[in-house]
């Protein structure tokens, strides 16, 4: 992960937002290469979900959302996480994501501070406030607490006999019992925690020309004139602010649901099953921001809401599960780093009929990159109930067939099972993919370190034993970003063998402009005044699939050197064939089939 983040900053994929002003925690800016990669990932998702199908259309809904929408969907009342504070570090975290207590082989709890000075302060707090009389030692930035025994809901620390000489009141003996709910501070392993409490994840904002702070002050002063009750004051403040209250949407899905009827009416050719896709930003006031762009307060979602008949839901859920895992395997190299994880029954939302996460094996463990869910008819039913508008689907074909039968037979259809198939509230199968997480997973999946022979080297080679040379001491090690060609920020780099030769530069410029015009992709004119090998390696590091080199023979024979990133193989090809070879290489195909390499091999055999 450190290797990737260093590369991202150095090469222009990802920057800390507002870094020159000290940065903003959890906020990142995408540089020239990062914005291209992000755009390519989202475009491939859109190609698959919308352009590759005739039953899905796109939509782009507003980010600022009125409270009524999110009240109806349950986000105002239920979109919360449990939050816990560490009494030592003051860090906040979700208990369901926190690890269990770790103890060393001497039955001690090791608590790790950021540095020695902090460790001294923490030790003082533990001795004087959190565990008076406990056996405590410290070594550098690590504090050790001796444990007597671990019980179901508490940790009993061993008591220091010397503490009996301090004339401590008997009530202080209780400080040796630490409540334990199965988790500790993820960063320090500290068991000294607050009680968990709910925390709403949505960002509030206000559409009002009047500063809401003024309204808060005025309402508070008015409330305090009649009562000192804080609950009553809060209620009055909330009531005063409510007319201008809005939220930054926590998900893109609700914008689709509230536009379901509008889309259906404006596109009458859409028949069940059909889908509405959207890519857009969402905002969540996350308790814990971690792993760079994996968990941030501002992120982008790629979501599909696929509307189906109730009796189609299970089949479509299964179908979309397969479709989405296949999509991931198309663009990822390491298929063993991708898995499906069905949700256990106690994980499911109360309205959900089933949910599966697509997970990627990140350096810190398995993490969700996409969720596929059978949401039933919950969302449309709730919005219909709140607005009084029936968000139903009418099957005009079935209705006309019934009416025709009734006319022919003279008998009115009364069977419920028949009528219910004509008009019903659709169920929804949802695919929700995090664009930022997808980008991070695909970069980690593509990044390899190779030696001077082009052989991949493990990132943890320095840990393989004393006889192994560390990666920093081995010669010729370099990074290659083996992204799928369609995801690569730069598809082709065109470079003269010598950068100050005007004739070669002119040919490079012509080739670059031709490829840009015909392929409509990002083609780089690489003019750095360094060796051709270093320019190749720079392009390998940022994931460019092909490099085209114009040399002194090009004006004579009309040929260039075409170099392939993953193999390093170079072939001499006519300029007129470069476009076709690159086009073939950019076609969607199962990972591992190198169409461009096949073309070059076939071409070489024909010449021979």
> CB within 8 A of 311, min separation 6: which ones?
none
Which pLDDT does position 498 carry in this prediction?
Answer: 92
Domains of the chain, by residue range, sit at 31-76+250-444, 203-248, 490-607
Q: Does domain 31-76+250-444 have CATH number 3.30.930.10?
A: yes
Give 533: exposed, middle or buried? Use CB within 10 Å, 0-12, 13-18, 19+: exposed
The DSSP-derived string for 11-24 is: HTSEEETTGGGT--
Radius of gyration (Cα) for the chain, nearest Å?
A: 31
Which pLDDT does position 453 carry in this prediction?
Answer: 82
Helix, coil or strand: residue 386: helix
For residue range 417-472, what is the model confidence (pLDDT) as tens digits? Answer: 888 888 999 999 999 999 999 999 999 999 999 988 888 888 765 444 434 344 44
Q: Which segments of the chain have a pLDDT < 70?
A: 163-175, 460-475, 589-608
What Cα–Cα distance (Å) separates residue 11 from each residue in 6, 538, 566? 8, 9, 19
Q: 65: part of which helix (H) or strand (E)?
A: strand 64-65
Q: 524: part of which helix (H) or strand (E)?
A: strand 523-525
- pTM of the entire structure? 0.82
What is the DSSP secondary structure assignment for residue 86, as one 8-state letter?
B
The rounded distance, in Å, linking the Cα atoms of 39 and 41 is 6
Which pLDDT does position 602 carry in this prediction?
Answer: 60
> CB within 8 A of 97, min separation 6: which ones?
186, 288
Which pLDDT does position 245 carry in this prediction?
Answer: 92
User: Which is nearest to 523 in space by CA: 511, 535, 532?
Assistant: 511
Which pLDDT does position 605 carry in this prediction?
Answer: 60
Which pLDDT does position 286 carry in this prediction?
Answer: 82
The rounded distance, in Å, linking the Cα atoms of 334 and 323 is 18
Which pLDDT does position 413 carry in this prediction?
Answer: 84
250 with 201: CB under 8 angstroms? yes
Which pLDDT does position 474 carry in this prediction?
Answer: 57
Which pLDDT does position 204 carry in this prediction?
Answer: 92
Q: Does domain 490-607 have CATH number 3.40.50.800?
A: yes
At CA 259, angle to CA 253 and CA 263, rounded to 5?
A: 120
Which pLDDT does position 171 carry in this prediction?
Answer: 41
Which pLDDT does position 392 carry in this prediction?
Answer: 92
Which pLDDT does position 458 carry in this prediction?
Answer: 84
For residue range 150-208, what is the model confidence (pLDDT) as tens digits? Answer: 888 899 999 888 765 544 444 444 458 889 999 999 999 999 999 988 888 899 999 98
């Amino acid at each position: 992960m450190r290797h990737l983040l260093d590369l991202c900053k150095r090469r222009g994929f990802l920057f800390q937002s507002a870094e020159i002003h000290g940065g903003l925690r959890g906020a990142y800016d995408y540089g020239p290469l990062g914005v291209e990669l992000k755009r390519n990932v989202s475009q491939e998702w859109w190609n698959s979900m919308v352009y590759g199908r005739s039953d899905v259309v796109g939509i782009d809904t507003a980010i600022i959302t009125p409270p009524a929408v999110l009240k109806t969907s349950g986000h105002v009342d239920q979109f919360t996480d449990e939050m816990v504070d560490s009494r030592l570090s003051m860090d906040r975290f979700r208990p369901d994501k926190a690890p269990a207590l770790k103890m060393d082989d001497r039955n001690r709890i090791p608590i790790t501070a950021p540095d020695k000075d902090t460790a001294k302060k923490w030790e003082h707090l533990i001795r004087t406030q959190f565990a008076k009389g406990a056996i405590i030692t410290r070594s550098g930035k690590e504090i050790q607490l001796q444990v007597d025994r671990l019980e179901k809901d508490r940790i009993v620390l061993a008591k220091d006999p010397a503490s009996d000489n301090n004339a401590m009141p008997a009530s202080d003996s209780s400080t040796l019992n630490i409540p334990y709910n199965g988790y500790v501070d993820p960063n320090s392993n500290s068991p000294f925690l607050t009680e968990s409490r709910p925390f709403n994840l949505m960002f509030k904002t206000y559409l009002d020309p009047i500063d809401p702070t003024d309204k808060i002050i005025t309402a508070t002063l008015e409330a305090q004139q009649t009562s000192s009750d804080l609950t009553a004051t809060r209620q009055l403040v909330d009531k005063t602010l409510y007319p201008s209250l809005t939220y930054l949407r926590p998900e893109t899905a609700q914008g689709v649901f509230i536009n379901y009827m509008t889309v259906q009416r404006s596109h009458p050719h859409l028949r069940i099953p059909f889908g509405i896709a959207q890519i857009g930003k969402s905002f969540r006031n996350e308790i814990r921001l971690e792993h760079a762009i994996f968990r941030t307060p501002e992120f982008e979602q790629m979501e599909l809401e696929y509307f189906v008949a109730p009796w189609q839901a299970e089949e479509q859920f299964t179908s979309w599960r397969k479709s989405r895992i296949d999509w991931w395997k198309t663009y990822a190299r390491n298929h063993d780093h991708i898995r499906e994880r069905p949700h256990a029954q106690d994980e499911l939302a109360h309205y959900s009929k089933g949910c599966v996460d697509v997970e990627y094996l990140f350096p810190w463990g398995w993490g969700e990159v996409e969720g596929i869910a059978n949401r039933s008819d919950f969302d449309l039913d709730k919005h219909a109930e709140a607005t009084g508008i029936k968000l139903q689907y009418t099957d005009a074909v079935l209705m006309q067939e019934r009416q025709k039968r009734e006319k022919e037979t003279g008998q009115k259809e009364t069977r419920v099972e028949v009528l219910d198939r004509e008009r019903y509230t659709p169920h929804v199968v949802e695919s929700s993919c995090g664009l930022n997480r997808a980008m991070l997973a695909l970069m980690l999946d593509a990044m390899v370190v190779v030696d001077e022979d082009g052989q991949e080297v493990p990132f943890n080679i320095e840990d393989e034993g004393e006889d192994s040379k560390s990666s920093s001491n081995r010669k010729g090690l370099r990074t290659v970003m083996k992204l799928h060609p369609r995801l690569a920020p730069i598809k082709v780099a065109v470079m003269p063998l010598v950068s100050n030769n005007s004739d070669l530069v002119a040919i490079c410029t012509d080739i670059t402009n031709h490829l840009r015009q015909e392929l409509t992709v990002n083609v780089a004119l690489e003019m750095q005044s360094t060796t051709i090998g270093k320019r190749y390696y720079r392009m390998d590091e940022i994931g460019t699939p092909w490099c085209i080199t114009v040399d002194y023979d090009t004006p004579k024979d009309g040929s260039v050197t075409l170099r392939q990133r993953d193999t390093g193989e170079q072939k001499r090809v006519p300029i007129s064939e470069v476009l076709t070879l690159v086009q073939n290489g950019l076609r969607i195909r199962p990972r591992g089939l190198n169409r461009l390499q096949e073309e070059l091999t076939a071409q070489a055999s024909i010449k021979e």
